[in-house]
Amino acid sequence: MTTIEQDDVWTADRIRAADRDYVIHSWSRQGAVNALPVAGGSGAWFWDHDGNRYLDFQSQLVNLNLGHQHPRLVAAIQEQAARLCYIGPGFAERSRAELAEALAHLTPGDLTMSFFTTGGAAANENAIRLARHVTDRDKVIARYRSYHGATAGAMSLTGDPRRWAAEPGLPGVVRMFDPYTYRCPAGHPDPCPVCTGGPHLEEILRYEDPGRVAAVVVETVTGTNGLIYPPDGYLRSLREVCDRYGILLIFDEVMAGFGRTGEWFACDHWGVVPDILTTAKGLNSGYVPLGAMTVSAAIGDWLRDNHFWGGLTYAGHPLACASGVASLKIMKDEDVVGNARRQGELLGSRLAELAERHPSIGDVRGRGLFYGVELVTDRATREPLVPFNGKGAAAEPVSRIVKEAMRRGLYLSANFNVLRLTPPLVIDAEEIGLAVEILDDVLGIAD
Ligand code: PLP
């Protein structure tokens, strides 16, 4: 029988060993895990126990929009902890009420009432269940390149290969292709019916019975699976088809929301409003687990007369909601969305310069601080540098690029042949410059 040990016993080696022996890591063969013990972080940086510093160009799963250890956010959590750490979801509590009211004003269109969850997957679970109840229909349409979370229903919505391990999954999920204009799934030149949205959806509905489809769920901008921006008109085209058949449109902005793309919400770029918006991550930079499902006024009205069949012990957790309220205030006071836009323009122009020097760069796409760099063996044929192999994370030589960048102090991630560049929204121009210099060096591996 061991005891809980004193802090000073926890050297980096001790942490690494206990982590290896006792912690189950996500999406990994446990024997292959050798996780870096992290000692601390600040702003766009984190560091290990040996004092090596890393520029965080991933934002820890595209989550730390306000960066590491934002002092005002830490203080808000401490203040709430001193006031009231927990009260059940059945009570009215200030941080919960304040965050819901703030979201009603901040989110687009008539999105009004929010249900708070512990993260993105739970928000999506509740969104599809609610959509089925509101419409009294059973089918849900989602896309192949979606990632919507790892719980049972969210995994069924997810189209990427991680879904395979969870199949057969939720009945009634039908899949459509993504508007991946650089690499059209139907092999069409741009613009094509798939990438236009509505025509592709209409065609699917002919075979699925629109009267049975409760919702269409899309990541407004596809994050994990390749940073895919819909062409102008795509979301509006989905909106029109959904309206025609009484289908609810759900935007998953768990990754793309809260300033990530240089607007408060990614759908603001195109002025299209969903019936349900799901968020998490940047909502409070994940300092305490939090997600939200925010619904239209019409669904809000429906909820006043009908039962909401959902609940979580930690729904609207006061520490999470207090950090959400503080996070929104910080974002406004410090013009974080404006910074994301400005630094994003800088990043975009520096990446365009890199593309002139590196033949391995096939495509650079992004807005705000949500960029993808797609690597190819040949620009003319667009042959991916590593093929899509269903195994998830990047293979050689992309994995070598990621490792080499880390060795030089730049932390980033990749999905197959797409490097994802998603730093905290509080990053400055000098830090962007440093990241681009390191990228310039390591991209030589691919050229
Ligand atoms: N939806 C999107 C678009 C995501 O990117 C993620 C996580 O990366 C999720 C949902 C799931 O969120 P969580 O991991 O908080 O459950």
In order along its 447 residues, the chain shows pLDDT tens digits of 455 656 668 999 999 999 999 999 999 999 999 999 999 999 999 999 999 999 999 999 999 999 999 999 999 999 999 999 999 999 999 999 999 999 999 999 999 999 999 999 999 999 999 999 999 999 999 999 999 999 999 999 999 888 998 999 999 999 999 999 898 877 776 667 778 899 999 999 999 999 999 999 999 999 999 999 999 999 999 999 999 999 999 999 999 999 999 999 999 999 999 999 999 999 999 999 999 999 999 999 999 999 999 999 999 999 999 999 999 999 999 999 999 999 999 999 999 999 999 999 999 999 999 999 999 999 999 999 998 776 656 688 999 999 999 999 999 999 999 999 999 999 999 999 999 999 999 999 988
CA-wise closest residue to 244 among 207, 277, 199, 301: 199
Q: Please give the structure tokens belonging to residue 305.
A: 């007369």
Cβ–ligand 1 distance for 119 under 6 Å, the answer yes
Res 395: pLDDT: 82
Cβ–ligand 1 distance for 55 under 6 Å, the answer no
Which atom of ligand 1 is nearest the CA belonging to 146? 3
Which atom of ligand 1 is nearest the CA belonging to 256? 3
Rounded CA separation 71/135 (Å): 44
Res 394: pLDDT: 67
CA-wise closest residue to 410 among 431, 388, 387: 431
Cβ–ligand 1 distance for 256 under 6 Å, the answer no
Cβ–ligand 1 distance for 237 under 6 Å, the answer no
Cβ–ligand 1 distance for 147 under 6 Å, the answer yes
Q: 373-390 burial by CB neighbour count: b if 16+ within 10 A, else e?
A: bbbbeeeeeeebbbeeee
Cβ–ligand 1 distance for 420 under 6 Å, the answer no
User: Cβ(186)–Cβ(192) under 8 Å?
Assistant: yes
Res 1: pLDDT: 42
Cβ–ligand 1 distance for 258 under 6 Å, the answer no
Q: If 0-12 CB within 10 Å is exposed, 13-18 middle and 19+ buried, where does residue 243 land?
A: exposed
Which atom of ligand 1 is nearest the CA belonging to 151? 16
Which DSSP state fits 393?
B
Give, for ligand 1, the residue of 147, 156, 261, 267 to mutate: max count of ligand atoms closer than 8 Å to Cβ. Answer: 147
Give, for ligand 1, the residue of 144, 148, 160, 220 to mutate: max count of ligand atoms closer than 8 Å to Cβ. Answer: 148
CA-wise closest residue to 220 among 259, 152, 274: 274
211 CB-side CA count, 13 A: 0
Cβ–ligand 1 distance for 123 under 6 Å, the answer no
Cβ–ligand 1 distance for 250 under 6 Å, the answer no
CA-wise closest residue to 173 among 287, 250, 100, 257: 250
User: Cβ(111)–Cβ(186) under 8 Å?
Assistant: no
Cβ–ligand 1 distance for 159 under 6 Å, the answer no
User: Cβ(368)–Cβ(262) under 8 Å?
Assistant: yes
For residue 168, say if its preceding peptide bond is cis, omega within 30 degrees of 0: yes
Cβ–ligand 1 distance for 370 under 6 Å, the answer no
User: Cβ(241)–Cβ(84) under 8 Å?
Assistant: no
Neighbours of 263 (CB within 10 A): 20
Range 241-246 contact pairs with CB under 8 angstroms and sequence separation of 24 or more = 241/197, 241/198, 241/201, 241/202, 241/205, 242/216, 242/275, 245/205, 245/210, 245/211, 245/213, 246/135, 246/210
Q: Ligand 1 centre and the CA of 354: distance in Å?
A: 30
